[in-house]
Structure 1
Amino acid sequence: MAGGTYTLVLERDESATIAVGALGERAFPEGWYAYTGSALGSGGFGRIDRHRAVAAGENDTRHWHVDYLLGDPATTVDTVVRTEADIECAVARRVDGPAVEGFGHVAGFGCSDCDCPTHLTSHERRDLLLAGVERAHEAAAADSA
């Protein structure tokens, strides 16, 4: 199975504070989120199926920061953007962007094994967030080629 980098576009239909493992409690306002991760092991993009199972309440195991967010009933997986390349951090940095108006992030989320400020970006509008995610994947892939 192919692997690479993926970004989950998530919707939260209500605001809440969620305990995120070692990160502790974090506020997650209602809105749209983009979580960027990697699927480079033997299961490849099968990891996305695992994330969907956590979001659907079919898997209670919490390994990664995103599991805590996905495990909250107000969070659903809307869409997934993926690229068959090892460009996780390059995508996450581009989605988060330096001071992009309207974008926010949860500091330290999903990046305990790298030096990125975050791998979770938020926005009030789905269309703007999704466009940012798609641009980030395209640019990071082009730079790595």
Structure 2
Amino acid sequence: MTGGTYTLLLDLPASATIEVGALGEHDFPAGAYAYTGSALGTGGFARVERHRELAAGEREVRHWHVDYLLGHPDADVVGDVRTEAAVECAVARALPEGTVPGFGASDCDCRSHLAYAPEGESLAAAVRAAHDAVG
């Protein structure tokens, strides 16, 4: 399998107010974020590299909610965790709640696919545990 479920680990060192497409403007406190998505279509996990390019300023086009967060100049992708299985919602539900209801969850009944924690180590450990539990 060349695709599956991924979780991007993000750092936002300073609080920011960001317009998130149709979800509108939201406040993002400084800290760590984990966005869980699927990479099941054409290209598979190449989607993760596309997200990294957007965060690095090498892309402009925003398709998904996470693109708006990644497009903020202070947001940084610090890692990712991948599982070669279609377990996006199971992983997202196992993580702490995020600050934006509906983020990344417009095609399912999850509250959000964006998790938040004030610091990154505990969130990264929770992401690894969630992927291990369902993968």
**TM-score, length basis structure 2:** 0.96
After the TM superposition, which residues 1-145 of structure 1 pair with which residues of structure 2 at under 5 Å, given as runs? 2-96=2-96, 104-141=98-135
Contact 2:98 2:112 (C-alpha < 8 Å) held by counterparts: no
Aligned residues: 135
Separation in 2, partners of 1:22, 1:106: 12
Can you give the 5+ residue segments of structure 2 that lack an aligned partner in the other structure? none
Regions of 4+ moved over 4 Å: none
Identity over aligned residues, as a percent?
61
Amino acid at match of 2:34: A
Can you give the 5+ residue segments of structure 1 that lack an aligned partner in the other structure? 97-102
State the 1:13 CA deviation: 1.2
State the 1:135 CA deviation: 0.8
State the 1:105 CA deviation: 3.4
